[in-house]
Chain A
Amino acid sequence: MRDYEKYIRYRTFPTPWCPGCGDGVILKLIAMAFAELNLDPDDIIVVAGIGCSGRMPTYFNTNTLHTTHGRALTFATGIKLARPEKLVVVISGDGDATAIGGNHLIHAARRNIGIKMILINNGIYGMTGGQVSPLTPPTFFTETTPYGNIEPHFNVRTLLTAAEASFVARETVNRLMQLKQVIKKSFQHKGFSVVEVMSNCHVNLGRRNKMKSPLVMTKYIRDITMNMADFEKLSPAEQAPKYPLGVFVEKTERLEYTDLYYNHIVPVAQGSGARGEK
C-alpha cells in the first residue's frame, strides 16, 4: 500500500464521477498531501456541500461530513471552533462556493478562520445536469443559457483578495505537482485558505461548447491559464480572458480566528471582566 492510500476509503468506491473527471485527480492529490504531512487520519476532517465535489468526502478515510448546498463552511466553522487543533478541509464546487454559499465564503475569509478550502472550478453545475454557474465564462452555452451566457463570472482570486482572505491560490488539474504543492502549502497555512482548482467538466460544460473530450477540455484549461509572472506582462485587454496561476496571497501576520478567540477573548473575559459589568 502506498503512503497516501491509508487516506482513501476504498470500501466506498466506486465514485459517482464521470470518466475523465478532474475530481478523481484532486481526491488523490489531497490524499498525497495528507501523506506528505504525515497526518493521523483521525486528526483530519473533510467537509463538503452539494454537487459532484460534495461527494468527495465519502472517499477519504478521515472524518468526513457531507452537508447542505453551499453551507459546508458553516459546519466547518463550528468544527474548527470546537476542535481548533484539527485539520478542517472543505471541498466545494463553483456553484456551491460562489452562488448559494457566496456569503459564507466571504465571511470565512473575513474571519480568517483556519479552514482549508479546495474550490473546484469546473464552471458548471455538473450533478444537476449542466446549468450556468457564477464561474461559467461569458458567452458559454449551458442548459440554462441556451443562447449564451450574458453574465460576467466572478473572479475568485480578486473576490477573495478583496474579502481579506489570507491565503489565495489557483492551480489546474493539468499541473499535478504544482497543485499538490499548493494544497500542501495551504494545509500548513494558519488562517483561512482557498485553493481554486480549474478542472474539467467535459460532459456538462465541454459537450455544449465544442470540447466534449477530457483532452480537449484540459487543453482549453491549459490555454487560458498561465503563471502570474506571465499574466502580469499582459495588457488589461489581454488579461481579461486569462486566468493566472500560483499563490496570490499568503499573509502570515494576520491572527487566525480560533487563536484570537481562545487566546485573546477568553483571557480578556476571564481576567478583567467584560465591559459594563459592575
Chain B
Amino acid sequence: MSARKVLQGNIIIAKAALAAGCDFFAGYPITPSSEIAQYMSKEMPRMDRTFIQMEDEIASLGACIGASLAGRKTMTATSGPGFSLMQEHIGMAVMAEVPVVIVNVQRGGPSTGMPTKPAQADMMQTRWGTHGDHPIIALYPAFADEMFSETVRAFNLAEKYWNPVVLLSDEVLGKAHMDVEIPDPGTYEVYWEKPHQVVDLNIYDRQIGENPPRVDFFKGYPIHIDGLEHDAHGWPSFDAKTVDKMQRLRMQKIYQNLDDIIRYKEYYLDDAEVLVFSFGISARSALAAVKAAREQGVKAGLFQALTVWPFPRAALQERFQRTKKVLTVEMNLGQMKYEVERVAPPGVEKRTLLRANGMPFSPDEVLAAIKELAK
C-alpha cells in the first residue's frame, strides 16, 4: 500500500488549510470552487472549528476579516465573479492589515463566462483588483504536492505579514483528482504568532522594515481598527506625513521580505536556450513540453512561478543573463507577459503562447512554440 492517495485538487487545498490551522471559513457556492466549502462544512464542526455559508462573497470575506480580528485563522474560496465581489474587502484587509487567505479557482470570464472551463485571466485582477495603492501576495501552485505546501504557506505569509494572501488555482487543478502524499504534521512549518497582550492603542506603531505584530480584539485593552487611513493608534488620520508613512509601511513589509515570500521552481534551466515562463496548469503543459523538447535535442527549460505576486523579478533577471529567448505561456490574452517583458533586458527574444477559450494548452502545442522560438 502506498502512502499516496487520490484527492481532488480543491480538497487538497481544503485539507492543507485545516492542517495550517484554519479555524474559520466563510464562503458562498460558486463553480468550480464549491468543493472547498463543502469539505469545510463537513470537517470543521468535527474539529470544533467554524464554517458558515454567507449570503454573498462580499459577506464571506467580511466575516473572515471579522473573525480574523477576533483571533481566528480564516479562509474563503471563490471563483472569478465572486473574486470580483471580494475586491472591496481585499482593500479593507490590506488597509486594516488583517491576515486572511482567499482562494480563487479561476474559470473562463469575463462575467459569468464559462463556469466549467479553466482560465488564468484573473492574474491582473489579483494584483490590482481592489482600489488604491496596495501590496498583495499571490501564490499559484501547479502540482498536487504544491497545492498542499502553497496553501500552508499562504496562511504563514498572511499571518507573518498581516496581509491578505490570494491562493490561485484554476478549473483543471481544482476539479482533477490527483495522487498526492499529504505530509505528516510537524514536517512543514506552520507559522502562528500568538496574539499579543495589548497594552495601549499604538497597534500600528512601527518603523519601516519592521514586521507587524498580530493584534486582536479582546486582548485586555480595547483597540480600534479602521478602513479609513489611520495613524499609529488606528485612528482616522489624513495628515499627509502620517498617511505617507502608513502607505510605505504597508508596502515595505512585503517588498522588504521578498526572499521569504518569493518561491519558484526551475526545470532544466542551467543550459537552456529557451526559457518557458509559466504557472498553474499551463506550467504543467510546459513541463511536459520542455521534457519532450529535450528528447528532441532542443535545450528548453521551465521557470515556474509559485509566487506570482510580488513578481519573481530578480530570479528571472538572473536567468536572462544566460538564456536569451523567453516564451510566456498563459491561459489569457496577455497578462503576465508584460511582467516578463519588463524584466527581460534588451536582446532577449520574447514570444508568447496565449489563449482564453477554455482549453488548456496541450504539451504538443507548447512544444511547437518552443521549437519555433529555438530556430
Inter-chain pairs besides A78-B24, A78-B65, 15 sampled, C-beta below 8 Å = A9-B224, A41-B222, A42-B222, A63-B223, A64-B225, A67-B227, A74-B63, A75-B63, A78-B72, A79-B66, A79-B217, A81-B24, A82-B67, A265-B45, A269-B46
Cα-based distance from A70 to B72 in the complex (angstroms): 23
Instruction: Tell me whether A79 and B67 are in contact (CB under 8 A).
Output: yes
Instruction: Tell me whether A42 and B224 are in contact (CB under 8 A).
Output: no
Give which listed residue, B54, B61, B70, B223, contacts A79 with CB less than 8 A. Answer: B70
Instruction: Tell me whether B225 and A66 are in contact (CB under 8 A).
Output: yes
User: Interface majority SS on A: helix, strand, loop or mixed?
Assistant: helix
Give which listed residue, A63, A67, A74, A261, contacts B222 with CB less than 8 A. Answer: A63
Instruction: Tell me whether B63 and A64 are in contact (CB under 8 A).
Output: no
* Contacts A76-B66, A82-B70, A83-B70 given; does A64 touch B222 at CB 8 Å: yes
Residues of A within 8 Å of B221, CB to CB, are 42
Could you count the A-B residue pairs with CB atoms below 8 Å apart for me: how many are there? 141
Cα-based distance from A265 to B47 in the complex (angstroms): 11
Cα-based distance from A73 to B63 in the complex (angstroms): 8
Residues of B within 8 Å of A270, CB to CB, are 45-46, 48
Cα-based distance from A107 to B74 in the complex (angstroms): 21
What's the nearest-Cβ distance from chain A to residue B53, in Å?
A: 10
Instruction: Tell me whether A261 and B66 are in contact (CB under 8 A).
Output: no
Residues of B within 8 Å of A67, CB to CB, are 62, 65, 92, 227
Flag whether B26 is at the interface (Cβ < 8 A).
yes
Flag whether A183 is at the interface (Cβ < 8 A).
no
Residues of A within 8 Å of B225, CB to CB, are 64-66
Give which listed residue, A41, A44, A57, A269, contacts B45 with CB less than 8 A. Answer: A269
Cα-based distance from A43 to B74 in the complex (angstroms): 22
Residues of A within 8 Å of B219, CB to CB, are 42
Instruction: Tell me whether A266 and B72 are in contact (CB under 8 A).
Output: no
Instruction: Give the number of residues in A that approach B within 8 Å (Cβ atoms).
Output: 43
Residues of B within 8 Å of A58, CB to CB, are 224, 226, 235-236
Binary contact track B208-236/A, C-beta < 8 Å → 1, others 0: 00000000011111111111100000011
Q: Show 23 A/B contacts (Cβ-Cβ < 8 Å), sorted by A.
A: A12-B224, A42-B218, A42-B221, A42-B222, A57-B224, A63-B218, A63-B222, A66-B228, A74-B54, A74-B60, A74-B66, A75-B63, A75-B69, A77-B52, A78-B63, A78-B69, A82-B71, A82-B72, A83-B70, A86-B70, A265-B45, A270-B45, A274-B46
Binary contact track A261-278/B, C-beta < 8 Å → 1, others 0: 100011011100110010
Flag whether A61 is at the interface (Cβ < 8 A).
yes
Flag whether B58 is at the interface (Cβ < 8 A).
yes
Cα-based distance from A82 to B51 in the complex (angstroms): 10
Flag whether B56 is at the interface (Cβ < 8 A).
yes
Cα-based distance from A145 to B284 in the complex (angstroms): 57
What's the nearest-Cβ distance from chain A to residue B374, in Å?
A: 51
Residues 99-118 of A contacting B (Cβ, < 8 Å): 103-104, 107
